[in-house]
Structure 1
Amino acid sequence: MKQFLALIALSLAVALPVKAQDKGYWRASSQTASSITGDIFITDAKLTMNFLAWPLVPVRALKPVEISAVFDADSNVAQAGNLYHISVAADQRLLHKNTLCGKEQTQWMATWIDGRNLHVAFFSGATPPVFTFDAIRNSTDLCGTFLYTR
């Protein structure tokens, strides 16, 4: 009986989705991240970039197929990611006087953990982004993707 219960517990542990842990300090590791945001720090309630902080509101978890659409990841390998609402003014200057979304207000942030890497995509637009291959490919709201590491 103990073996049976242990087998069930192990099966449930393997079957449960792994929650993406995007919280914490991340070092900029792509050229885009290094030249625009620098290192970032994510908490449950805020995003900090270039010593400036913005409120961060969790919206929902992203599915592997959605992660695949925005981050060009294998949907069979991609774990869950997250979508957040954020409000970074269009004229907010970061590193080297760069902005996140050009002349548009940044309103959405999508994250995905890949090993020790954090992939982040920022979006403008009043409505949440649609995470399909066609929608992302034709989107004018995708501001850019950034890569960070631990």
Structure 2
Amino acid sequence: MLACCAAVTAQELGYWRAAGSSAQTVTGDVGFSDAKIAINFYTFPIVRARDLEPGEVSSVFDADSNSGHKGHLYKLNIPATRKFMHKNTLCGAEDTQWLATYVEGNSLNLAFFSGEKAPVFTLDAISNSSHLCGTYTYAR
């Protein structure tokens, strides 16, 4: 069981190319280590908060809730003043506080959230959330 979970975490690690138009416009390429995320050459500490169950993953990403794939929720702090590609920010005038990840094959999906409290991952909560800042797609 422990080897399974370590392998899932290892899937996020490394360098990812911006694949979706939002990622190409806002973040550029990203990289993960055990304790940091690099976005457009800026690094930020991350702390893994918990695993996301398949149903939670499908509430925010285009993922099959029956696939059995889990995601991860990370706590981080990216100031609203930090500008990335084309002078874009992640959450407008709010600090980015949370990061959800989901890896499937050679694709990485990220969702950034503002707000001090951890996001609630249900279809209803996500569709009515004012804290979801954006979702982004990357490839290897």
TM over 0.5: yes
Distance 1:49 1:67 in 2: 22
Structure 1 gap segments, 5+ residues each? 1-11
- Secondary structure of the equivalent of 1:75? coil
Kindly provide the CA deviation profile for residues 99-130 of structure 1, in whole angstroms up to 9, marking residues without a partner as x: 00001100000000111000000000000000
Q: What are the equivalent positions in structure 2 for 1:35-114 lying under 5 Å apart?
A: 35-114=25-104
Shift of 1:78: 4.7
Amino acid at match of 1:66: E
Cα distance, 1:71 vs structure 2: 0.3
Distance in 1 (alpha carbons) for counterparts of 2:134 and 2:72: 16
Q: What is the percentage of aligned positions where both structures have the same residue?
A: 50
Q: Specify the code of the residue in structure 2 equivalent to 1:29.
A: A
CA distance in 2, matches of 1:122, 1:87: 11
- One-letter amino acid of the counterpart of residue 101, structure 1: C
Give how far 1:80 is off.
1.0
Matched residue SS, 2:8: coil
Deviation at 1:19, TM superposition (A): 2.1
* Structure 1 Cα separation of the partners of residues 38 and 105 of structure 2: 22
Q: CA deviation at 1:73?
A: 1.2
User: Which residue is 1:5 aligned to?
Assistant: none
TM-score (norm 1): 0.87
1:120 pairs with 2:110: yes
**Residue identity matched to 1:79:** H
1:140 alignment partner AA:
S
CA RMSD of aligned residues (A): 1.4
Number of aligned positions between the proteins: 136
Question: Residues of 1 paired with 2:78 and 2:34: CA distance?
Answer: 17
- Give the direction of change, closer, same or farther, for the CA distance of 1:66–1:51 in structure 2 (3 Å limit): same
Moved over 4 A (4+): none
CA distance in 1, matches of 2:54, 2:118: 17
TM-score normalised to the size of structure 2? 0.93
Counterpart of 1:111, as a letter, is T
